């Protein structure tokens, strides 16, 4: 029973906050389709988004980045999100999601700095590598969402609706960052295509700079230990 004690799990979460953030975001990938179809989906989506935002702030605190910057982005984002849900104002939603996008980019940058700060690869840095990728995916998905609110018809897909769902935009973000090119969502307006190109560039640079470095350091450490 001691291995599954709540205290031990709390200690593990404090040691590996990136692992918790990564787990919650991957869980979100599975839950978002259910949220979109549920009657109270918007409220569930907002509540889940607040949880992810708070975890992102917590992860930033672990890194060398300034924690107050994350709070300055997170708090207005939460307040604007609540106001948008109550007042049903698309522009408030756009403002909230713009701040969330900035927060996720900031958190991804802070985790990248954390991973590049030394020449050792810890378990938490490996979790941080996964969490950074999901943070980038969320950041670009929010940026895509803001783009289509400001410029309706920015993205087209097989469905007739002019506005793409959150799950479609997140799927596009993962496809662009990973470079697999499997998305059926296509950016058609100039602003949308510019964001898509930035996502492709970010994905390539992340693999080239961060992932390759972690693999190289791990291989070097194992070779030195023999």
Residues 170/141, Cβ–Cβ less than 8 Å? yes
Beta strands in 56-185 (DSSP E): 155-156
For 99-129, letters b (16+ CB in 10 Å) and e give bbbbbbbbbbbbbbebbeeeeebeebbbbbb
Q: pLDDT tens across 133-161, in order?
A: 999 999 999 999 999 999 999 999 877 67
The 10s digit of each residue's pLDDT in 20-41 is 888 899 998 998 888 877 766 6
pLDDT higher than threshold 70 for residue 3: no
The total number of residues shown for the chain amounts to: 226
Bridge partners of 187? 155
pLDDT digits (tens, 9 = 90+) for 35-81: 877 766 677 777 888 888 888 888 877 666 677 888 899 999 989 98
Residue with token string 């087209």: 156
Burial label, 5 (beta-carbon count in 10 A; 0-12, 13-18, 19+) = exposed
Q: What pTM, to 2 d.p., does this model score?
A: 0.85
Average pLDDT value for the chain: 83
The model's confidence at residue 206, banded by pLDDT at 50, 70 and 90, is confident
d(CA 80, CA 84): 6
By the 8 A CB rule, do 21 and 103 touch?
Answer: no
Q: What pLDDT shows up at residue 146?
A: 96
As a whole-number percent, the residues of the chain with pLDDT over 90 amount to: 34
Residue 6: pLDDT band (50, 70, 90) is low
Domain range annotation of the chain: 2-225
Closest to 115 measured CA to CA, from 103, 126, 102: 126
């Amino acid at each position: 029973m001691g291995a599954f004690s709540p205290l031990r799990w709390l200690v593990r979460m404090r040691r590996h906050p990136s692992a918790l953030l990564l787990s919650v975001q991957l869980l979100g990938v599975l839950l978002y389709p259910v949220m979109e179809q549920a009657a109270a989906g918007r409220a569930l989506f907002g509540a889940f988004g607040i949880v992810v935002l708070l975890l992102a702030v917590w992860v930033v605190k672990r890194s060398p980045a300034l924690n107050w910057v994350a709070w300055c982005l997170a708090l207005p984002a939460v307040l604007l999100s609540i106001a948008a849900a109550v007042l049903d104002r698309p522009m408030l939603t756009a403002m909230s999601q713009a701040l969330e996008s900035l927060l996720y980019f900031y958190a991804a940058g802070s985790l990248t700095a954390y991973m590049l700060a030394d020449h050792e690869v810890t378990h938490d840095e490996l979790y941080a590598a996964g969490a950074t990728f999901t943070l980038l995916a969320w950041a670009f998905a929010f940026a895509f969402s803001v783009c289509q609110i400001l410029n309706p018809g920015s993205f087209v897909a097989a469905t007739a609706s002019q506005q793409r769902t959150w799950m479609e935009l997140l799927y596009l973000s993962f496809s662009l960052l990973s470079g697999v090119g499997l998305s059926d969502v296509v950016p058609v307006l100039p602003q949308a295509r510019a964001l898509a190109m930035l996502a492709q560039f970010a994905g390539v640079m992340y693999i080239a700079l961060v992932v390759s470095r972690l693999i190289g350091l791990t291989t070097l450490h194992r070779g030195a230990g023999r």
